[in-house]
């Protein structure tokens, strides 16, 4: 049966692949089952996949890019290349643009999310990725810093170990692939619940998504996200909040947030971004 | 005006004092405004207060007890004494029982909550405190370990920095003054959100109350709790939870909890233990 399944994946053309956006909490398994990275390759077209790796967040782009090249090649992708974009000007390079127009999967590595946004935001390369993701031609994955940039608002840094307050988190503008969400990564591993709640208090029109290490929130184009991997995806939903202190009060004053809704999701659980409904793994409709 | 208020407090007799249970997250201000400790003395009868300090949680009961004696005396309490209970047998001592029958306030210090429960649980001394608190004759306060023991189920220890799971928290039996709650203290200061959620997942008939340092959840006899101090009180309410994984699954598997309700409360906010309603400080009815 597993062989049959693998074969049917191989026979799919990239056009028939169901694209998705994989938001990975960092430190994903690169050695053993590699479920998350395997799913990325599969959603990029499996043996027909043409994957580009953008390591711009990293200060060691060749090393980190090289590691992912080997992994994706081992998994049977047809073509894998690094787009070593270090300067904004490179985003106008016709070769890079042609690669982004032709590929079936883009992988954003970890590193520094501010650096990644600084290089990519508002560039022709970025426009190509966004437009092709939106129209279902391209599967996108980002891990760690590559996950942080997914929302319109981005967490650039922050603290832990104190009472929630608005000054606890530093916000910036992300790449906006999924503008509705504010992503936080290495989530429970680095005790980031408080900074995500603080971010959501200042942006109550967004949804907080905290993703643990070796865990992925995979967003489908129909609005469902599904959890893959070994940890939790935490959803912080401020829709029903009845009271919060105003942003103009002291930024270090403790935060009020009354009637926050919170979901701890794990492998196989689904959550609908627009309906705000949650579906346990046991009721999963196979796709 | 402040003088008038102080005077009216002084004129109250202990009988007229509105008793309460003050659950303090540890490290309460002992030097400056001392709002929480001052409220404890006021609720114990102000200048008519007769306060007993139970330092049984601590390995240095004389030092910690001595510090609180000086503070409560400075605040004008009529009588303050340490009940230096180190062994269960002392809980049958007629002198200790007489003190507990006569006093208007009991203060449980920090230290080790297992030690405190080991000494006090199921003793005649404990029965006196519980019965007098219940009938509104006695104000009770506990800080840190003294706060942890308030519920029927007690958090004895636990971890942080990993995905929520049932093995992350060690539970024991508390002293049960407020059986409905599971208290966690030094809450955001020590990143304890995950262990409280894990505790609540295993006891979904209880309410999680996480209390930050220098912060107090003051429980009135009518079911309202009010927040005092400088940090947050976090309420984790599982009433509406639609799904959680069963306790019999692997204890280290990541926890599912769908539709948890969460409140971040701060100074002046109120929450009703039975109605599960929240009242922002701005709508506070003066008492």
Catalytic residue at B213? Answer: yes
Does residue B245 belong to any structural domain of this protein?
yes
Does residue A277 belong to any structural domain of this protein?
no
What percent of chain A has pLDDT above 90? 87
Expressed as residue numbers, the domain containing B242 is 2-269
Q: A282: pLDDT confidence band, cut at 50, 70 and 90? A: confident
Residue A191: predicted pLDDT: 96
Does residue A91 belong to any structural domain of this protein?
yes
Catalytic residue at B180? Answer: no
What percent of chain B has pLDDT above 90? 87
Question: What's the CA angle centered on B275, arms B270 and B281, to 5 degrees?
Answer: 15
Nearest CA in chain B to A197: B264
In Å, how far is A223's CA from the nearest CA of chain B?
18
Residue B251: predicted pLDDT: 74
Q: A284: pLDDT confidence band, cut at 50, 70 and 90? A: low
Q: Domain of B24: which CATH number?
A: 3.40.50.880
Q: What is the mean pLDDT of chain B?
A: 92
Averaged over A171-186, what is the pLDDT? 98
Q: What is the pLDDT of residues B92-107, one digit of tens each?
A: 999 999 999 999 999 9
Does residue A46 belong to any structural domain of this protein?
yes
Residue A252: predicted pLDDT: 81
In Å, how far is B63's CA from the nearest CA of chain A?
28
More confident residue, B166 or A64: A64
Does residue A220 belong to any structural domain of this protein?
yes
Residue B245: predicted pLDDT: 83
Catalytic residue at B101? Answer: no
Averaged over A234-252, what is the pLDDT? 86
Residue B16: predicted pLDDT: 65
Does residue B276 belong to any structural domain of this protein?
no
Does residue B228 belong to any structural domain of this protein?
yes
Domains identified in chain B, total number: 1
Residues of A in contact with B242 (CB under 8 A): 278
Does residue B218 belong to any structural domain of this protein?
yes
Tell whether the model's pLDDT for residue B287 goes beyond 80: no
Instruction: Say which range, A58-62, A245-249, B138-142, B228-232, has the weakest mean pLDDT.
Output: A245-249
């Amino acid at each position: 049966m597993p062989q049959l399944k693998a074969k049917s994946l191989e026979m799919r053309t990239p056009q028939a692949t169901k694209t998705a956006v994989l938001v990975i909490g960092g430190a994903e398994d690169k050695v053993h089952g590699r479920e998350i990275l395997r799913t990325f390759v599969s959603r990029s077209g499996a043996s027909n996949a043409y994957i580009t790796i953008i390591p711009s967040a990293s200060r060691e782009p060749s090393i980190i890019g090289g590691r992912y090249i080997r992994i994706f090649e081992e998994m049977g992708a047809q073509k894998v290349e690094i787009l070593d974009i270090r300067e904004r000007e490179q985003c106008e390079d016709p070769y890079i643009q042609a690669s982004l127009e032709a590929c079936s999967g883009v992988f954003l590595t970890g590193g520094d999310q501010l650096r990644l946004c600084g290089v990519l935001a508002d560039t022709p390369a970025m426009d190509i990725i966004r437009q092709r993701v939106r129209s279902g031609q391209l599967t996108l994955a980002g891990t760690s810093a590559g996950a942080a940039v997914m929302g319109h608002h981005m967490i650039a840094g922050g603290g832990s170990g104190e009472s929630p307050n608005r000054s606890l988190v530093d916000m910036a503008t992300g790449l906006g692939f999924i503008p509705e969400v504010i992503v936080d990564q290495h989530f429970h591993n680095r005790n980031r619940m408080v900074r995500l709640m603080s971010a959501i208090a200042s942006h109550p029109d967004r949804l907080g998504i905290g993703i643990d290490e070796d865990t992925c929130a995979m967003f489908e184009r129909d609005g469902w996200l599904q959890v893959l991997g070994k940890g939790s995806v935490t959803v912080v939903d401020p829709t029903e909040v009845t009271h919060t202190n105003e942003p103009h009060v002291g930024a270090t004053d403790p935060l009020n947030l009354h009637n926050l809704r919170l979901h701890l999701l794990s492998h196989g659980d689904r959550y609908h971004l627009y309906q705000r409904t949650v579906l346990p793994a046991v009721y999963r409709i196979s796709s």
